[in-house]
Structure 1
């Protein structure tokens, strides 16, 4: 495998070298896009009905402007992880998927401007999301079921990344954009990016280009990679030479896009092509050269050589988008289509292990109709297909083909101080597979029907105080992984077995939210409860022949996808306070907190008989399934705060987030100690006489150099979060 500390520096300078001369040639921008952004006034693009986060009755968070600049990280999950109710999964710095109110994986849809990302990040916890947050202009988080808009995979919420790669409007100036160079100490980070948007002289052709290059080495940690509890359980004493660095935690990423649109008075038509290429190490996972088909590593002499595991991901995406305004009974029509070609190769040292190929096509038509009987609304049709195949000894999911079709309507109407939002959607999901190659008795096709209903009410009691109430009935069809997995899942070090008899799961949610604002205070509080029927979850099994012990295949635990009723409930709150605005500067304080619990409603155990297939061998097991208790890897409660200051060209902030100890754990899951992460930011901004701008920044993370292990991570005992780090650089706006 190549040295993770890549020496090449030329690509890092390309963005600034190209962009900065253009910045001086550009006319002064009138949109002042680098100015502070009022997030309450930013239009939410995830819904076809125009509105801001303040207007919507459904809970939505938006990151844009300076707040997005301060939050951007190498993974999408880490970028949004400081929003109330939102945390991140973690499988090293290359992998971080958003977790919304305790839901993750196949329950949280990740989108690029309204269309799915087209990757396989839901197949396994070590698979990265193929969206680069540094190139985003806006990120929206829909909390609560978003199935009404985006179907089965959004039952727990959705994250929509706006990148503007297909321009929909002319630019305010002939040429505008931004560029950034940054470096970091904790992992020797070097990142360069640029974004350019331009309108041709005729005023109807609009061009877009963006590019990013990032490379990091292994990152520094406060102590040892393995936790003290893990070392004690294994009876091991760590080597002092291993302290302070997490091996195999490097990341290298390249991303870029070109887009072109024709924009007229009543609409637009545009295309874009993009690529996302990344290679990252998987810390805590070394593949032993000798292993058997039963899932246990069995070196002949006890000293088999281990090779680091890394993943190389390559995605090519082509998009077509168009829109028309004022077409007969419709205020607007919007059509989106994306074709995604995805390849993902897992390396064991320099040897190819398993290859994942995924081809996805998705189309979406949204039609906003004229006001009818007092209702503003939109019809929508969404269609997608997916062709997935995994090749290799450790391909635990068979080749599958998926077809999804959805039809929906959503509408809103105002009755004095009351705003009502209603919606309905019907989806049909079909999954075809050649699973009979692994298990002759398995069904090769499953069809599912999912029905979703939603009602929300927003009551503006006065100009400063409003209350929101929401009810949802959402359904999710099982994924191919949940139905047909059967084999060794290296990322989780388990044998994973699907159940082709799984049915749709149904979530019934109720939420109450309160928002109050004055001239100097904004306060929001929300409480929610979600009751699931036939909740799909992965559970460890107990051996029936040896009660009280885990069922294993060789020495590897066997996990089964199964169903049971479950309950999630939680609260979140956020307050923004203007402390002072005087000669010393503008001082503001933001505080937030959230807590969530996830539990199975059943009691006791039930028996199960299952089969695990390895080539020509079939293993039969009698097992016990735990039907109650806490669900695993539920995000811990936390509370955080951030003090910000701005005066003239300067702005700064100091923040801290306290993650509580998580001891409400599932069977066979260990508690995770609490920790506190402290960060700080400093920036100096200068507007040039030509109307452009420069910004120099310095960011500090984990300033207390505390050992932090995310409870949501499968690697919590093998890979802590990075230690103390500084990042610094320069941004240019033009």
Structure 2
């Protein structure tokens, strides 16, 4: 269930309680019975899962849909966004991001480069999704070593998964968003007859730079810059005047270079028989978006370098160059933008009862061809490319006594290249091959579940002088799910997982402007290992339903980027030209992650013609670097929230709030993060025109308090806040 929300006002709860007193409801009729396909190949119902998982679908998904996958999921329990403006945002699960969270499209790799940098967008359109499923915690058993922190699987409309109910049907949606003059239009069509089905769709969304409540830079960023400038006052008296100009030029009210222009389309075909099915799809995704904060970084370093030249050439020339630089900034010529394009082919085939031993055999195959260019004005800076394939074969065997289970094989091969001034990761080919098995022993009280996976990972740089690396990883799990009563379930899962370092962690060397750092890899890194425990208590029926989870992960050789001061850099690498960027080196340490997640719904009214409920959310993650006795950076802060929703007749109305705490456990060299409160409200009116045609008129308000919000998970938090007050109005129809 969707629980983006927050601690709601006491008056709302009081009102809800008075309505509850008048309602007639059987507490045993409400059941938590969501169907999820990502968490297990043979267990579908959420209540029966060993692992903690959630699903975002239906009205909740449409309400939450944003331009990035991270923003769309940022209200789910344990899930936040890496937020690098509206064009780029990956899900952060329990503090894990990057190459520890697998982003899947129809169960297969997304084939983008979003894991290499937070300013690289995920090449998946959330508005085309039918369901988004999230596995919180290690999912490496089924999806490979890069899923050591969790999995996000976007199940879209591209691949028809069942026979068509009608020869022709569709959905159309258009909306306007006030905060960025956002305009979106999308159409999804599907149909078929007999054993054949088809699908097709397109979407176009455009938005300008969005409005913000105050300054783009945080007060802490301004103070840090003022301190740096003060340190140089004795070297250049004119610098004080530059500081005054800088203060006057602070961006206020609108976040520069935060535009997004996205277009996407797909076609799909499927055949269904009595003993199986086959579906194929082809999709195109393109996005042009600005990367806020980059122009600031470039301007700062250019100004420093130009200043040294101007001291030699004369003060008059310096003034001319400063004026020219300022003019260029006003016209956006110094801004960095990304031009992204991807084409993708997917295939899914399934055989039912192909032999006596097998209940089903499923083949999934995907090819991806990805390219994006980083533009500085009209000039191409760096070009990133990635193409490859992933194949997955999964068999679910027939019951053997009380045992059910599945086994499979997975292969993924991709070529990555980066060419240009900021190609800090060398071009390479990565190949992964794995086999896995999972078995479930059913008991009267519930079930035991066991699994294992063996995987080999080869990283082969194009530059032979770097040397290739090969890793063998092992994953194993043991869990249980126990029915405590007719309305409650306890699950626990113990996982040992290993992850191979990626090409960036091994071989990176150069400026990474996406994070405004100079990154250095370590070719001697070994496998990262963790032991994790999840314990969940689920309420499946009654007035209160939902899940409470506690988790703990103990890592050995956890790879993170360690800050190096000037003395460390000079000692290790001599005089290294870092262009004034902070230097970070991939380092293996011991680390611990632990926390809680609460996702509950209080059912007030649950009748055929009306329903009322209150959702409650709480999550908290703590992550420590045990080797250096410090905190790990950019960990989500504590969050509390609630959502009140009432549906009656054609109306659906909701109000919500979400409070994010200040960062009390900051990582080294990380500026403070203040707490913030986000309020929202929405309303929908449904018109049923005939048996097939439905029209929904909707309005969704976000950040209604116009609060300055800076997520602690973002590299960009001190240069770019989240959008200010916004109202989205639109129309959605099914026919």
TM-score (norm 1): 0.87
Q: Deviations over 1:10-33 (max 9, x none)?
A: xxxxxxxxxxxxxxxxxxxxxxxx
Helix, strand or coil for the counterpart of 1:492?
coil
Distance in 2 between residues matched to 1:39 and 1:189, nearest whole Å:
36
Distance in 2 between residues matched to 1:244 and 1:299, nearest whole Å:
33
Deviation at 1:265, TM superposition (A): 1.1
Any stretches of 5+ residues in structure 1 without a counterpart?
1-36, 603-626
Of the candidates 247, 256, 264, which is equivalent to residue 247 of structure 1?
256
Aligned position for 1:500? 523
Q: Could you tell which deviates more after superposition, 223-232 or 150-159? A: 223-232
Distance in 2 between residues matched to 1:133 and 1:38, nearest whole Å:
28
Kindly indicate whether residue 467 of structure 2 is the aligned counterpart of residue 466 of structure 1.
no
Aligned residues of 1:292 and 1:298 also touching (Cα < 8 A): no
Q: Deviations over 1:81-104 (max 9, x none)?
A: 111111111111001100111101
Of the candidates 224, 231, 234, which is equivalent to residue 225 of structure 2?
234
Kindly indicate whether residue 342 of structure 2 is the aligned counterpart of residue 342 of structure 1.
no
Aligned position for 1:528? 551
Kindly indicate whether residue 390 of structure 2 is the aligned counterpart of residue 362 of structure 1.
yes
Aligned position for 1:188? 181
Q: Structure 1 residues 299 and 108, CA, compared in 2 at 3 Å: closer, same or farther?
A: farther
Helix, strand or coil for the counterpart of 1:222?
strand
Aligned residues of 2:396 and 2:406 also touching (Cα < 8 A): yes
Distance in 2 between residues matched to 1:726 and 1:164, nearest whole Å:
27
Aligned residues of 1:226 and 1:717 also touching (Cα < 8 A): yes
Aligned position for 2:209? 218
Distance in 2 between residues matched to 1:713 and 1:383, nearest whole Å:
32
Of the candidates 285, 292, 297, which is equivalent to residue 294 of structure 2?
285
Kindly indicate whether residue 269 of structure 2 is the aligned counterpart of residue 260 of structure 1.
yes
Distance in 2 between residues matched to 1:119 and 1:360, nearest whole Å:
10
Helix, strand or coil for the counterpart of 2:224?
helix
Aligned residues of 1:379 and 1:408 also touching (Cα < 8 A): yes
Q: When you count helix as a share of all residues, which structure comes out higher?
A: 2
Q: Deviations over 1:310-333 (max 9, x none)?
A: 001000001222111011111111
Any stretches of 5+ residues in structure 2 without a counterpart?
1-29, 227-242, 311-317
Deviation at 1:290, TM superposition (A): 9.5
Aligned residues of 1:182 and 1:728 also touching (Cα < 8 A): yes
Of the candidates 543, 548, 557, which is equivalent to residue 582 of structure 2?
557
Aligned position for 1:272? 281
Aligned position for 1:452? 475
Deviation at 1:456, TM superposition (A): 1.3
Of the candidates 335, 350, 371, which is equivalent to residue 323 of structure 1?
350
Kindly indicate whether residue 418 of structure 2 is the aligned counterpart of residue 393 of structure 1.
no
Kindly indicate whether residue 68 of structure 2 is the aligned counterpart of residue 75 of structure 1.
yes
Distance in 2 between residues matched to 1:162 and 1:297, nearest whole Å:
50
Deviation at 1:581, TM superposition (A): 5.5
Distance in 2 between residues matched to 1:288 and 1:685, nearest whole Å:
48
Distance in 2 between residues matched to 1:174 and 1:214, nearest whole Å:
28
Deviation at 1:164, TM superposition (A): 3.5
Kindly indicate whether residue 603 of structure 2 is the aligned counterpart of residue 578 of structure 1.
yes
Q: Could you tell which deviates more after superposition, 340-349 or 302-311? A: 302-311
Aligned position for 1:117? 110
Aligned residues of 1:291 and 1:299 also touching (Cα < 8 A): no
Distance in 2 between residues matched to 1:425 and 1:315, nearest whole Å:
31
Aligned position for 1:676? 677
Helix, strand or coil for the counterpart of 2:141?
helix
Helix, strand or coil for the counterpart of 1:491?
coil
Distance in 1 between residues matched to 2:499 and 2:449, nearest whole Å:
22
TM-score (norm 2): 0.87
Aligned position for 1:690? 691
Q: Deviations over 1:388-444 (max 9, x none)?
A: 1111011101110010001001121211012112111011000000345xxx5x3x2
Q: How is 1:475-490 mapped onto 2 (pairs within 5 angstroms)?
A: 475-490=498-513
Aligned residues of 1:368 and 1:378 also touching (Cα < 8 A): yes
Distance in 1 between residues matched to 2:623 and 2:52, nearest whole Å:
20
Q: Deviations over 1:595-625 (max 9, x none)?
A: 00111111xxxxxxxxxxxxxxxxxxxxxxx
Aligned position for 1:18? none
Kindly indicate whether residue 649 of structure 2 is the aligned counterpart of residue 644 of structure 1.
no
Kindly indicate whether residue 563 of structure 2 is the aligned counterpart of residue 540 of structure 1.
yes
Distance in 1 between residues matched to 2:630 and 2:600, nearest whole Å:
33
Q: Structure 1 residues 113 and 38, CA, compared in 2 at 3 Å: closer, same or farther?
A: farther
Aligned residues of 2:130 and 2:155 also touching (Cα < 8 A): yes
Aligned position for 2:197? 206
Aligned position for 1:91? 84
Deviation at 1:663, TM superposition (A): 2.4
Which has the bigger relative contact order, CA under 8 A and spacing at least 6?
A: 2
Q: Structure 1 residues 299 and 71, CA, compared in 2 at 3 Å: closer, same or farther?
A: farther
Q: Structure 1 residues 56 and 193, CA, compared in 2 at 3 Å: closer, same or farther?
A: same
CA RMSD, 1 decimal: 2.4
Q: Structure 1 residues 39 and 357, CA, compared in 2 at 3 Å: closer, same or farther?
A: farther
Distance in 2 between residues matched to 1:63 and 1:125, nearest whole Å:
23
Q: Deviations over 1:193-231 (max 9, x none)?
A: 11111113xx11211112111000000000111111211
Distance in 1 between residues matched to 2:579 and 2:614, nearest whole Å:
55
Of the candidates 559, 578, 594, which is equivalent to residue 569 of structure 1?
594
Kindly indicate whether residue 735 of structure 2 is the aligned counterpart of residue 731 of structure 1.
no
Q: Structure 1 residues 547 and 406, CA, compared in 2 at 3 Å: closer, same or farther?
A: closer
Alignment coverage as a number of residue pairs: 665
Helix, strand or coil for the counterpart of 1:369?
strand
Q: Could you tell which deviates more after superposition, 173-182 or 342-351? A: 173-182
Aligned position for 1:654? 655
Deviation at 1:109, TM superposition (A): 0.2
Q: Structure 1 residues 299 and 663, CA, compared in 2 at 3 Å: closer, same or farther?
A: farther
Q: How is 1:135-174 mapped onto 2 (pairs within 5 angstroms)?
A: 135-174=128-167
Distance in 1 between residues matched to 2:721 and 2:301, nearest whole Å:
30
